Amino acid sequence: MTTAVPKPLALVAELTHRCPLHCVYCSNPLELQARSNELSTEVWSRVFREAAEAGVLQTDFTGGEPLARPDLLDLVRNARSAGLYVSLITSGLPMDEAKLASLVEAGLDHFQLSFQGARDDTASEVSGTRSHAQKLRVLDWLKRYRIGLTLNFVIHRRNLAELEEMLAIVEASGAGCVEFASVQYYGWGFANREQLMPTREQLDRSLEILKRAEQRLRGKTRLLFVVPDYYAKFPKPCVGGWGRKLIVVTPSGEALPCHAAQIIPGMKFENVNQRSLREIWENSEAFQKFRGEDWMQEPCKNCDRRAQDFGGCRCQAFLLAGAAAATDPVCSLSPLRPKVDAILASSNIAPAHVGAGLVHPEPSRRTPPATEPLTKPAWLYRPNAT
Amino acid sequence: MIPDLQSHPRLAPGCRLNEKTQQPRTLLMPERALRLNGPSLEIVSRCDGQHTVQQIVDELQKIYSKAQPQKVEQDILGYLTLLHDQRALDFTPEAAP
């Protein structure tokens, strides 16, 4: 080994792929794991202890929808007693007040509630489920508890016009943190990319709104914005660098260096049923594959930014360049950047629905219709795992 | 923002220290963690909603009696402001129940 292996800091526990929502950008793989393949309470609890022993500080319970696990309270208790800080990343359904009370009682540290829009009809279209009113109810219940709260709005072409309304929900909630996370184009998001990619105008307008909101919310709510990286000049430091901070464990126990890693062909992942988390982290082929800098190609290999962004995202490199070790093509230094620019160009000329109320700074430009398009977009929805 | 010396700093919801048995001591926050060294641990462990800012200053000036008292106070106020802006800390006029 040429580089010392750093300690992992976070464990993303994908407890299940089951979910009452079917969001069109779901980060789960196109092939979902069935309930019968899910890890048991006992195995998860061992994974939490092994994670804490390996240096992990925090675990994010996610899915699918973690609330679909009947043993969720035991999992929260066992992760806490292993010494981990526990976050629940949830759609807020199915849930009632009693369930929320018992989660807080079990030691849940932080509640992250996802939103698909600021309006019921938008949220329903995106998630294929009526869930928005329930989320607002959950926000009301949460006011009775002293628990960390983050709201997460996944933003894209179809809901960016609602940004001010989203901020109103945030301000009424008293949340300590809000994330406006642009859709990431993997899996279901990649399949629906054309319908989801924001326009340049939407992006510029959103940045102005968010800048003002950041000032207004200072000292009350921390505001985070995840840029749509196709529009960025440099790539994101995906998962804080491959095998540097994060371990994802899938519902069936595969340990991954990032959520989407299974799309890269030829990778072999190990399962927590067969080996300890520490062994997998330190020695497995998958975690070693893009750790450090030896794997890098030009222009990353000699780039001044290589320790900042680690060459970007391996999965995106595979999806856009066809090679996982290539420079992430969203990087302006990548020889394949013109391909990303072409994708953006087509998103910016398509006669797209960009939502009502959007200001178009160039009056001479042909403005897109401010009403619903005549035809519904042909979404590809994820099915529910069984 | 300069913290009021009579206010009671308290870790914000979702923020807590890891257990005493866990090393290094760390302030855990939503999606983040902050390693604490000697003085920062002394400060954060007193952000319990019971101590006032003034009491924290007094106690740390005793612990770090070799340092200039003025400097200790400035450092504490700066650190509390930073934690507040990071949403790790609230200041309340009354002691927490």
Residue B3, helix vs strand vs coil: coil
Contact between chains at A58 and B84 (C-beta distance less than 8 A):
no
Q: What is the pLDDT of residues A105-148, one digit of tens each?
A: 999 999 999 999 999 999 999 999 999 999 999 999 999 999 99
Which of A251, A255, A322, A325 has its CA nearest to residue A283?
A: A255
CA distance A152 to A225: 10
Nearest CA in chain A to B10: A146
Give whole-number Cα distances, A359 to A299, A365, B94, in Å. 39, 12, 46
What's the pLDDT score for residue A366?
A: 38
Residues A296-337: tens digit of each pLDDT: 999 999 999 999 999 999 999 999 999 999 999 999 999 999
Say yes or no for a CB contact (<8 Å) between B85 and A219. Answer: yes
Q: Which residues of B touch A218 (CB under 8 A)?
A: 85
Q: What is the pLDDT of residue B23?
A: 85
- Judged by CB atoms closer than 8 Å, whether chains meet at A222 and B19 is answered as no
Both structure tokens of A39: 């890890």
What's the whole-model pTM score? 0.92
Residues of B in contact with A176 (CB under 8 A): 12-14, 30, 87
List pLDDT tens digits, range B43-62: 999 999 999 999 999 999 99
Determine the residue among A48, A56, A57 to mutate to test chain B binding: the one whose Cβ has the most chain B Cβ atoms within 10 Å: A57
Q: How high is the pLDDT of residue A372? A: 42
Q: Looking at the partner chain, which of B14, B28, B33 has a beta carbon nearest the beta carbon of A176? A: B14
pLDDT at A1: 45
DSSP helix, strand, coil percent of chain B (3-state; round to 5): 35, 20, 45
Nearest chain B residue to A175 by CA: give it.
B13
Residue scoring higher pLDDT (B48 or A381): B48
Residue A383 vs residue A6, higher pLDDT: A6
Asked if residue B86 has pLDDT above 70, the reply is yes
What's the confidence (pLDDT) of residue A29?
Answer: 87
- What does the pLDDT read at residue A382? 77
- Given a contact cutoff of 8 angstroms between Cβ atoms, the answer to whether B23 and B13 are in contact is no
Q: Compute the distance between CA of residue A240 and CA of residue A258 in angstroms, rounded to an integer.
A: 10
Residue A376, pLDDT above cutoff 60: yes
Could A110 and B19 be called an inter-chain contact, meaning their C-beta atoms sit closer than 8 Å?
A: no
End-to-end CA distance of chain B: 25
Supply the DSSP string of A81-119, one letter for each residue: HTT-EEEEEE---S--HHHHHHHHHTT--EEEEEES-SS
Which percentage of chain A shows pLDDT scores above 90? 85
Q: What is the mean pLDDT of residues B29-56?
A: 96
A309, containing H or E segment? helix A306-309
Alpha-carbon distance B37 to nearest alpha carbon in chain A (angstroms)? 17
Torsion over CA: B88, A224, A149, A103 (sign): negative
B30/A87 touch (CB, cutoff 8 Å), yes or no: yes
Q: What is the pLDDT of residue A365?
A: 36
